Amino acid sequence: MEIANINKHLGYCGINCGKCFAYFEGPIKENSRKLKDSLGNFTVYAERFSELLNEPVFKKYREFKEMLDYFDSMHCRGCRLDGCMIFKNCNVRACAIEKEVDYCFQCNDFPCQNSGFDEHLKQRWITINSEMKNVGIEAYYERIKDKPRY
C-alpha cells in the first residue's frame, strides 16, 4: 500500500486511527451496526430470557445496546482530517503540521515532552514511532493493519 493510503489510517503519532472505536469507517463501528441490525428488537427478548432461562446476564442487555449505539454513532475521520476525538490533550497533530512531518519519528526532537499523552500512551507512542523508524512505514503498517488497536 502506498504511503498516502497508509496516512489515511495512521495518525501523526503512528496510532492506527482506522481501528479506533470512533473511526467513521472502522470495523468497530461497522460491526456494531451489523450486530444491532442482527439483534433487531432483542430488548423485549432479553427481558424474557432473563426470566425464562434464569440468566441474569440478559438484564445487562440495555447497557450492552447502549454501548453498541455509542460505537455506531461515532464519526471521526482520523486525526489528519479532524483531529483526535479521543485524546483531547494531544499536541502531536499541531506539532507535526508545524514541523511539516508525517510522523513524529521524522522530527529531530523525537521523542519530546510535547505529546500531551499520559504515561501509558506516551510509551506506546515512542514504541510505535521507534518501530516505524527501524522497519519503515509500509512494513510497520503491513504488520499492524489487521490487528486490533486495543
pLDDT digit string, tens, across residues 82-127: 888 888 899 999 999 999 999 999 999 999 999 999 999 999 999 9
DSSP string covering 42-80:
HHHHHHHHHHHTT-GGGGGHHHHHHHHHHHHH--B--TT
Report yes or no: 90 and 116 within 8 Å, Cβ to Cβ.
yes
Q: Per residue in 18-33, pLDDT tens?
A: 999 999 999 999 999 9
- Rounded to two decimals, what is the model's pTM? 0.85
Which of helix, strand or coil describes residue 113? coil
Verify that 108 and 129 share a domain, yes or no. yes
Q: How many domains does the chain have?
A: 2
Verify that 32 and 104 share a domain, yes or no. no
Verify that 84 and 13 share a domain, yes or no. yes
Distance of alpha carbon 32 from alpha carbon 87, whole angstroms: 22
Verify that 99 and 143 share a domain, yes or no. yes
Verify that 136 and 86 share a domain, yes or no. yes
Among 73, 89, 106, identify where a domain stops. Answer: 73
